[in-house]
Amino acid sequence: MSGTTVTATIVIGYLLTIANIGDSSAVLDTGCSILELTGSHRIQSNPEEQARLRGAGCTLAPLGFHLQGPARQGELGVGPLRLWPGGLCVSRSVGDLDAGPEVVPLPHIRQVLLPSNGARIIVCSDGVWDLMSLSKAVKLCRFKPASAATAALMGAVSRDLRLLDDASIIVVDMLPSDGTSWPTVALKANPKPEKSGGLFACFRPELDEPDSRDVHSAAPGHLAFLADLDSLRVYPQMRAALQRTHIQHLATVMNNAVGGKPGIDYTMHGANKVSLYRGYMENGMPRTNSSSTAVADVASDGANHSNHSAHSAGALVVSETSSPNGVMLREA
């Protein structure tokens, strides 16, 4: 069985809502500070998820030197911490039924108000974040238009000889309706410093971009989360409603269904699926116009921006861009 991560972003006026499952992280650039928008479910870097999995009796270990399964107890192993069986690096995903019932598709959700002068969002898969930090990615493309920003990030990843994974990159600029471009906004917020020169200038360590939450509340670049919640902990009833199964059990169900015997519904919503579907139909879910795009080459240039109207709304998913009600998030 295969699985996937999900990072979904919704913009309504100035309100940005982002929900993620897995480790396809997103960062917001104000031009003079950054804000990590996602809560990573990478097991190696998430002590809370490690405790949850171990408390449920799961086996956590890096890949063994034999490359055939988990490292033996006391063995250093290779690479990051993984969940066994399966060897997943993440504790949450959509799919991955063979990894056991503790790998759940319940997202971390955050909300923040966008600055009035505009902002940029960079969403990438772990193939990018395994090679560079959020700060480095922002600095690499801050003063470039979105189309050039995706090319710069992809170029940096392609040149790195450590690349062992595929890479997906999305860059979206959310700007006021006066036609201002993102490089102009970024330059006003953070003018490029004059080069100091000197013999040892190249040896100076590169400073990380400040976290928007740590910036003084009266200073440009300050942002604070309106909401920051883990749906698994805040809504435990969602966890109880999930019906996950081991791949062997799923195979049995499939075989029974093929043989004409009644099968069991092992979809993620389980018994709630039908009632949820009926509820959506009765309430009349709004339609959106969407188009599939090549993830590795998605961007929004300076002309594609939210008009910050209270009635505008846009949705951006890892492999899809949407443009309902006036917000334009189109392919570069």
Query: Which residue do the tokens 């066994």 mark?
Result: 84
The confidence score (pLDDT) of residue 193 equals: 58
Query: Coil, strand, or helix at residue 318?
Result: coil
Per-residue confidence (pLDDT) for residue 243, from 0 to 100? 56
What is residue 34's predicted lDDT score, i.e. its pLDDT?
A: 95
Q: What pLDDT sits at residue 322?
A: 34
Tell me: domain 3-37+107-193+207-230+291-326, CATH 1.10.3470, correct?
no
Low-confidence ranges of the chain (pLDDT < 70): 1, 161-165, 192-206, 243-332
pLDDT at 263: 43
> What pLDDT does 291 receive?
26
**pLDDT value of residue 11:** 92
pLDDT given for residue 75 in this prediction: 85
CATH 3.60.40 placement within the chain:
3-37+107-193+207-230+291-326
Work out whether strand 26-29 and strand 119-124 pair parallel, antiparallel, or are unpaired. Answer: antiparallel
Question: pTM for the whole thing?
Answer: 0.71
